[in-house]
Amino acid sequence: MKKIILFLLLGCFLLVGCNKNSEQGIINRLNKKINRTNAYKLDGNLEIVNNDEVYKYKVEVSYKKGDYYKVSLTNTNNNHTQIILRNKDAVYILTPSLNKSFKFQSDWPSNNSQIYLLKSIIEDINNDKNRKFSKNKDTYQFITKANYPNNKKLVKQKIVLSKNLNIKEVIIYDKNGSTIMDMKFNKISYRPSFNKNYFKIKNIMKSYSIKDNKVKKTSNLDDSIYPLFIPKGTKLANEEKLKKDVGERIIMTFDGKKPFLLVEETTKKEDEFTIVPTSGEPYRLMDTLGVMTDNSLSWTSNGIDYYIVSDVLNKDELVEVAQSINLVQTSK
């Protein structure tokens, strides 16, 4: 009798697990669809919210088996494009408007969630054993943890799938349930063709050089741009403006319980394409891509290069200072 009951329970378990429209059945089909693909190409629209400001990006992603990635992010407000590239050599942030690239020896994109990469989204579903699943007439939905170790405010995400298991939307929430990022997928192709130079830097830079991809140019800094967020017990202790060969530099020293250094300087477009080797990881701020290390954050925005460094601030605090500077710029 026990054997019969066990057999029936096992049969029910297998029946539920094999039901293609059950939670596990959908995950199995999704894994098969994404993990077995040799390439894909997608485009969509990303919105990032910072307080009352919304930053909008046009996103284009190309992937080829062997960990080749090309992610193009175009800020629709100023038409400024940056590209995250991973090929057999390294990981790069390309900024065509500055004729410049940062080069990383990095695990990107496997080191945290990536809102626009299919495999990363699937891994987040697989890795969260406490995920929530629901379905309605037109879509399937998963609620999972978000894995952003450099920004702990991003805690949860909703992943929306069509009935044919194409990802339609990913929404990232903070602990209060407020939307911080929203990626809508417009089109996904699983059979793209890439020429042999598609993931090479020179080919990419050449393709963007013929486009109108201008950067705001300035030779002087009229005013210092101060962060709206300064850690408690910390204040501006010194400020110095220096002349460079081309342009100006402002150095601000903040002292107190959590001291840090903030440098602002005019951006210079390189005469010849320049690759800058750097430690750290690519990091997406509100309106640009930057470079994050254990104790520093650097980025370029609106014609100004920024650099924050501290032996005391953690990564969340570095980001909070940086985002408060971006907010000041946008509000001007």
Domains annotated on the chain, with CATH: 23-209 (2.50.20.10), 234-266+293-331 (no CATH)
Between CA 25 and CA 18 the distance in angstroms is: 6
pLDDT for 209 equals 61
What residues does 329 pair with on adjacent strands? none
pLDDT for 329 equals 55
Between CA 22 and CA 274 the distance in angstroms is: 51
CA distances from residue 261 to 34, 236, 276, 312 in whole angstroms, order as listed: 44, 10, 22, 11
pLDDT for 219 equals 61
pLDDT for 326 equals 67
pLDDT for 12 equals 46
pLDDT for 2 equals 52
pLDDT tens column, 110-165: 878 999 999 999 999 999 999 999 998 899 999 999 999 888 889 999 999 999 99
Ranges of the chain with pLDDT below 50: 5, 8-9, 11-17, 212-213, 330-332
Q: Could you tell me which residues come within 8 angstroms of residue 23 by beta carbon, excluding any fewer than 6 positions away?
A: 133
